[in-house]
Amino acid sequence: MDDAFIKLQLWRRRTSLIWIAVLIQVIGGLLFQVIGGILQIARVEPSSIFSIWPVLALLGLAIITGLVLYIVGLGRFRTILNAKDGKAIGKVRTGALLPAIGLGCVIFGVVLGLILKNFLAVVSVILLAVSVIGFLILVIIAIVKTIEGFYALKNSSTFPVKARGGASYLFVSTILGVAMVGLAFILGLISGLHAGLHLDLSPAFEVVSYVIGLIGGMFILILTLMGWAWIRNADPNVV
């Protein structure tokens, strides 16, 4: 076997793990979004949600598994790239890792806060506030790192031609993801203001918000899948 064939097979193996990880997260995320939207529109009581907790737990486990595989896959993929492209993938990997670390800190802060609340209520509140603020800071850094990484890859002269197209899809999907989070925040703020003023929102508002979120989320997830599919199917010998 020549070096070009070996290089192609190694590329396929390393990128296939990432694509599978993304697919797991996409399916889990879509199902979670659909179920969450239905529960919100149907105005299901919080106590009733416990009846489907096994389904939610399985979806959560699938998403976490996908994330772990994604981080591992990016780390392995980076080792077969040159220093410049490897650094860019490293930024994408950091972007995936930081929110997971932040979420772990939030969970730790919440658990510790619950333990201390009967003894040191002020410390409990401070721990929760610090963990949430830390999580938000890590998420912002993660977004910046991810955008930087995909931007570098889509403009890299040493990254395979087709893979650059995939990186462009991933760059756009990341930007759109940030925009969707901003839109969700605005819609949530509107809903919160109405709740604070004891005003009932029109059911149409909730339906429209859900449909916008679902369509936007699906579009972003499809772009992400397409992006990694293009990278996986690229030929590393064609730069």
Split at pLDDT 50, 70, 90, the class of 184 is confident
What is the pTM assigned to this prediction? Answer: 0.86
Q: What is the pLDDT of residue 110?
A: 76
Q: What is the pLDDT of residue 187?
A: 73
Which residue did the predictor score with more confidence, 81 or 116? 81
Q: How many CA atoms lie within 13 A of 107 on its CB side?
A: 6
Q: Is the pLDDT of residue 208 over 60?
A: yes
Q: What ranges do the domains of the chain cover?
A: 91-145
Alpha-carbon span 31 to 47, nearest angstrom: 21
Mean pLDDT value across residues 166-172: 97
Mean pLDDT value across residues 92-119: 82
Counting every residue written for the chain, the total comes to 239
Q: What is the pLDDT of residue 19?
A: 94
Which contacts (CB < 8 Å, 24+ apart) does range 7-15 have? 7/236, 7/237, 8/235, 8/236, 8/237, 10/80, 11/80, 11/234, 11/235, 11/236, 12/232, 14/73, 14/76, 14/77, 14/80, 15/73, 15/77, 15/228, 15/231, 15/232, 15/234
Which alpha helices (H) appear in the chain, and where do they start and end? 3-41, 46-49, 53-78, 83-116, 121-154, 161-196, 203-232
Q: What is the pLDDT of residue 161?
A: 93
> What would the pLDDT profile of 76-102 be if each residue is shown by its tens digit?
999 999 999 999 999 999 999 999 898
Q: Are 174 and 223 in contact (CB under 8 A)?
A: no
Helix axes 121-154, 161-196, angle to 10 degrees: 150
Q: Is the pLDDT of residue 38 over 60?
A: yes
> What would the pLDDT profile of 45-76 be if each residue is shown by its tens digit?
655 556 667 777 888 888 889 999 999 999 99
Q: Are 163 and 234 in contact (CB under 8 A)?
A: yes
Split at pLDDT 50, 70, 90, the class of 205 is low
Radius of gyration of the chain (CA): 21
Which residue did the predictor score with more confidence, 223 or 116? 223
Mean pLDDT value across residues 186-201: 63
Q: Are 223 and 172 in contact (CB under 8 A)?
A: yes
Q: What is the pLDDT of residue 48?
A: 59
